[in-house]
Amino acid sequence: MWRTVAVIVGVVVVAAVLLWGISRRQGEREIFLAAARGDVDTIRALLDRGVSPNARDEHGKTPLIWAAMNGSLPVVQLLLERGADVNAADKYGVTALMMAANPRQRAQSEVLVALLDKGANINAADSNGRTPLMYALSDNEKEIAILLIERGADVNATNNFGETPLTLAAMFGEPKVVELLLKKGARVDVKTNGGDTPLALARKYNRKEAEQLLLKAGAKE
């Protein structure tokens, strides 16, 4: 009799564990989708059910990274309040701050500030060595770039291609960003892996104002 009871209890426990595992995985799938579409009510309900704010999808992305991609400030704030790791990175080294700095992902300065205020690493680098500032500059997102520079982003960080923030700014030719980078101490003598200096790139892409600012700062090809 006791053996039968033990077997039944064992089956029940195994079934419960399996059901919990299925429920957990389903909850995680739901929270990723909700974060991607900015559904704060669904995320709150899932968190209340015990879904982790630091769950990861198959690419290592967390709900916070998805929320930053969406540009949803309410979702970002809720996840941070509920314990989301502000510096979690996916398997490519991409963080929520990088996504918030990328205008292709509906970048919003409010999301960026919320992440920084909670301790996001402003100089984190992805697997290609790109920092949040480089993400902003790669798409010529002036306001985001200025915000990051003023918040202390490393103006001389170098990615795997030998590019620095000044290199990227010179390519796009945004004078205000180039001027601010120079003011913050960006080096003008750096070269990409292809041997191009910021001045050479400004000339290559016909960025006249950037070229003049670089020359005034002592830049040479």
69, pLDDT greater than 70: yes
Tell me the CB-side half-sphere exposure of residue 115, using CA atoms within 13 A: 35
CATH 1.25.40.20 is the classification of domain 131-221: yes
Domain map (residue ranges) of the chain: 1-121, 131-221
Q: What is the mean pLDDT of residues 193-216?
A: 96
Residue 121 CB neighbour total at 10 angstroms: 15
| pLDDT mean over 145-170 | 97
- For the stretch 94-145, pLDDT in tens is 999 999 998 555 557 899 999 999 999 999 999 999 999 999 999 888 899 9
pLDDT band (50, 70, 90) for residue 13: very low
What is the domain class of 1-121 according to CATH? mainly alpha
Task: Report pLDDT for 19.
Answer: 37
Integer Cα distance of 146 and 78 in angstroms: 26
pLDDT digits (tens, 9 = 90+) for 75-91: 999 999 999 999 999 99
Q: What is the predicted pLDDT for the residue at 106?
A: 57
Structure tokens at 140: 């010529």
In this chain, the answer to whether the domains covering 1-121 and 131-221 adopt an identical fold is yes
For 17-47, the pLDDT digits (tens) are: 333 443 778 888 999 999 999 999 999 999 9
Above 70 in pLDDT, residue 12? no
Q: What is the mean pLDDT of residues 140-152?
A: 93
Type of residue numbered 65 = I
pLDDT for residue 64 is more than 80: yes
Q: How confident is the model at residue 7 (pLDDT cuts 50, 70, 90)?
A: very low
CA 110/CA 135 separation, integer angstroms: 17
- pLDDT single digits (tens) 171-197: 988 899 999 999 999 999 999 999 999
Instruction: Give the Å distances, CA to CA, from 214 to 45, 109, 133, 165, 175.
Output: 53, 28, 19, 13, 10
Is 193 in a helix, a strand, or coil? coil
Model confidence band, residue 1 (pLDDT cutoffs 50, 70, 90): low
Q: Are 145 and 166 in contact (CB under 8 A)?
A: no
> Residue 69 corresponds to which tokens in the numbers above?
């991609």
Tokens in use for 81?
Answer: 């309040």
Of 219, 165, 167, give the one whose Cα is nearest residue 194. 167
